[in-house]
Every structure is written in structure tokens, then in C-alpha cells.
Amino acid sequence: MINGINHITFAIINLERSLNFYVNLLGLRLVGKWEKGAYLLAGNQWIALNVDEERIIEPTGDYTHIAFNVLSSDFKSLKEKLEKAGVKSFKENTSEGESFYFLDPDGHKLELHYNTLEDRLKWARENNWSTFKHV
């Protein structure tokens, strides 16, 4: 039985560029590094970066993405920091709460978000999603 997510791995082209992005811009904590990769922590979540020459820097056309949790008090300043650094947005927010959808240097789709699953479920019920059922 699955009891959680162990880690998330991103295939990257350039380790130093990705470390600058994830550590210096997003504020993840570097906990290990080697020639072709690094381990980071986003809160308690383990993120792996692995250099992969097969990586094509082209975001997919679908909605698949990873959402990072931030405190509501930090959302605006982190979003502004990313925008000032020239980070590209890939979608406008249309759901409840504050979200910023953006790309990392290798085209991975990411999101800043600060609401909880409980907040999202409440919003879905209150907005009468016709097919939504809370189980």
C-alpha cells in the first residue's frame, strides 16, 4: 500500500543553472550534490535533479505540473522575485486561492500555491461543480 510520495526527480540539462533556480530563486535546501545531480528538500519533500542529455526543453501541452506550497504571507514576494528573474508563466490562475504557474529552466511545469486540499474541496462544493462529489 502506498503511504506517500518518496521523491520527485527532474531531468535537467545544466546542474548549476538548475541549482541556481531551485536553491537561490525558490529557496529549496541543497542536501547533497555530485557531478551529475543533486538532492534538495522542499520542506520535507525530497527533490532530485539529474543531468540527462536526453532532456528536451519543451513543456508539454497538458496541465501536468508540480505545485509547491508556500505561506500566504510569502506568496506575493516569491512570485515577484520569480517574475523579476524572468521566469516564464505557462497559465493564468482560474481556481480558488492564489496560484502562480511557471516553468523551470528545463521546461518543467511548476506552481506556487498556498491553500490546502480542504480549502479546495470546500471551494468545489460551494461553487457547485456539477460532477464533483466529496468522498
| pLDDT tens per residue, range 77-121 | 999 999 999 999 998 876 767 899 999 999 999 999 887 677 777
Taken in order of first residue, the domains within the chain and their CATH numbers are: 1-53 (3.10.180.10), 65-128 (3.10.180.10)
Q: Give the tens place of pLDDT for each residue, 17-45.
A: 999 999 999 999 999 999 999 999 999 99
Residue 71 has pLDDT above 70, yes or no: yes
Closest CA relative to residue 104, chosen from 6, 4, 24: 24
pTM value? 0.85
